[in-house]
Amino acid sequence: MGEELELWGRLRESNDRAAHQLLFAKYSAWARAVAGDVFRRVKIAQMDWADYSQNAVIGLLEAMERFDHARGIDFIAYAKPRVRGSVFNGLRMFLAENRQAGAWQGRREDRLDSLNERDGADQLDHFVSLVSGLAIGHFLDVIGESDFVDQMQPVERQIDVDRVGGRLREAIRKLPEKEGQVIGLHYLQHMPFVEIARLLGVTKGRISQLHKSGIARLRSSPLLDGFRGAV
CATH of domain 117-224: 1.20.140.160
Does the model's pTM come out above 0.95?
no
Q: What pLDDT shows up at residue 140?
A: 75
Cβ atoms within 10 Å, residue 95: 12
Residue 110 CB contacts under 8 Å (≥ 6 apart), including other chains: 186, 192, 193, 208, 211
Parse the chain into domains and list their residue ranges.
2-98, 117-224
Distance between CA atoms of residues 186 and 183, nearest Å: 5
Looking at residue 220, the DSSP 8-state letter turns out to be: T
Q: What pLDDT shows up at residue 175?
A: 93
| Contact (CB, 8 A) for 99 and 190 | no
DSSP letters for 63-114? HHHH--GGG---HHHHHHHHHHHHHHHHHHHHHHHHHHHHHHHHHHHHHHHH
Q: What pLDDT shows up at residue 148?
A: 40
Domain 2-98 has CATH 1.10.1740.10: yes
Amino acid at 159: I
Cβ atoms within 10 Å, residue 99: 10
Distance between CA atoms of residues 203 and 149, nearest Å: 35
Reading the chain (231 residues) residue by residue, the pLDDT tens digits are 678 999 999 998 998 999 999 999 999 999 999 999 988 888 776 678 888 899 999 999 999 999 998 898 999 999 999 999 999 888 888 766 665 555 667 777 787 778 777 665 556 565 666 676 777 777 777 665 544 444 434 434 444 556 667 788 888 889 999 999 999 888 878 788 989 999 999 999 999 999 989 988 888 888 766 544 444
CB-hemisphere CA count at 13 Å for 22?
Answer: 14
Looking at residue 153, the DSSP 8-state letter turns out to be: S
